[in-house]
Amino acid sequence: MNGVHDLGGMQAFGPVHPEAEGAPLFHAGWEPRVLAITLAMGATGKWNIDTSRATRESLPPAQYLASSYYEIWFEGLRKLLHSTGLATAAEIESGKMQIAAAPLPRVLMADQVKAALLRGSPVTRPATTGARFQVGDAVRTRQLNPSTHTRLPRYCRDKRGQIVAVHGAHVFPDTNAIGQGEQPQWLYTVRFDAVELWGPDTTASSVCVDCWEPYLDNADTRAP
């Protein structure tokens, strides 16, 4: 999806100002509650992490750009609750249940949270084919413009890079986000010279991006 969430390399958004070391994790009292509810609802199994990301990315551009980090999480959660039938628009607005609760595949209880967070949700999967690339191989990313979720940023499409790490097979987010299954693919870290991405005016040296195998071709392959 070519949405406003993909800001890397876009002009006129100003510099990035990282917060000072030791800055608070949350900046308003409601933010940890949004995080907690999002994690709890993700644990129900009604959607996966890639669907959750794709939903946040689908917010209207003006709304996305005007929202803080956890405002975006909250609006994405509202959409997911509505689209999966877990809550009606009226219930979300009123904060009160108006119809019988829908059954859930799983419920994350309070005493299970710490263990669940420590355990995480591994996305490595057994490989069904051999890796197409190895460390040191020169590759070129494909020129993709999908209408759905992808983890290949626009600024590094149709760019030449080099494989610097092979991570095994992982859930492919592009298919997992839209209900087409995990379809595990090999995952690589690709190093791009900054000049390749942004031209000679950049002050950066290089950028490393994790790329799934369907994003990559041999370096001598150019997009038409």
Are 41 and 109 in the same domain?
Answer: yes
- pLDDT of residue 223 exceeding 60: no
Residue 139, CA distances (Å) to 53, 164, 179, 197, 214 in order = 27, 11, 29, 14, 12
The tens digit of pLDDT for each residue in 146-178 reads: 999 999 999 999 999 999 999 999 999 999 999
Tell me if 195 is assigned to some domain. yes
Q: What is the tally of structural domains in the chain?
A: 2
Are 40 and 96 in the same domain?
Answer: yes
- pLDDT of residue 224 exceeding 70: no
Structure tokens belonging to residue 140: 């070129």
Are 143 and 207 in the same domain?
Answer: yes
Domain holding 86, by residue range, is 31-119
Look up the CATH number of the domain holding residue 212. 2.30.30.50
Provide the pLDDT confidence category of residue 80 given band limits of 50, 70 and 90.
very high
Tell me if 150 is assigned to some domain. yes
Return the ∠ at Cα 180 (arms to 34 and 63), rounded to 5°: 35
The rounded distance, in Å, linking the Cα atoms of 12 and 221 is: 32
Residue whose tokens read 């689908």: 58
The tens digit of pLDDT for each residue in 187-197 reads: 999 999 999 99
Are 58 and 87 in the same domain?
Answer: yes
Are 160 and 213 in the same domain?
Answer: yes
